[in-house]
Amino acid sequence: MIIELPSTKATLHLGEQLGKLLPVRTVLLLKGNLGAGKTTLVQGIGKGLSITEPIVSPTFTLVNEYTQGRLRLYHLDLYRLKPQEVEKLYPELYWEYQEVAPGITAIEWAQRLPYQPSDYLEIQLVNLPKLGRQAILKEVGSLSLKASFWESLR
């Protein structure tokens, strides 16, 4: 599905819808260049989950965990990390939910993952010369979101 994002507000709104609708254990891989709107989207997700704490990019802490909302939110940003460093972070802990409590995991710069979860929602944020900014959402693996989820995003 392609969603047009003409403004920051539109990106926040999409995130908010995701925060309200996504089921527990969903992993979101966020792809897109610097400034594409990945963190903005996660801020919207936080709002949709009813997290009132400000969501800031986990640039130095690597993983931010928010426990306050409808579901837990784990926010990872791999921007500054080398593949070896990403491995040391054990990112799979945040999608297998064995050692961490179940929630929703959102990973910025997911293209830097040395290995990927088997099932996830990919959200690519692009800025095309004539079409402008868009989010491209794709289910990967056996992730299968309800038809009502997709309808709510329209």
Is residue 114 classed as helix, strand or coil in its secondary structure?
A: coil
**Phi, psi dihedral angles at 70 (to 5 degrees):** -50, -40
- 111 lies in the site for ligand ADP, by CB under 6 A: no
Binding residues for Mg ion restricted to 67-126, rule: CB under 5 A: 108
Separation between Cα atoms, residue 46 and residue 27, nearest integer Å: 14
Size of the site for ligand ADP (CB under 6 A): 15
Tell me whether strands 120-128 and 132-140 are parallel, antiparallel or unpaired. antiparallel
Choose among ligand ADP, Mg ion, none what residue 26 binds, the Cβ cut-off being 5 to 8 Å by kind. Answer: none
Run of H or E residues at 149 = helix 147-153
Q: Is 57 in the site for Mg ion (CB under 5 A)?
A: yes
Cβ distance 73 to 100 under 8 Å? no
Q: Which 26-45 residues touch Mg ion, going by CB under 5 A?
A: 38-39
x/- binding map, residues 1-40, to ligand ADP, per CB under 6 A? ----x-xx-xx--------------------x-xxxxxxx
- The SS3 assignment for 19 reads helix
- Of the pair 34, 128, the CB lying nearest Mg ion is at 34
Q: Interface residues with ligand ADP (CB under 6 A)? A: 5, 7-8, 10-11, 32, 34-40, 108, 133
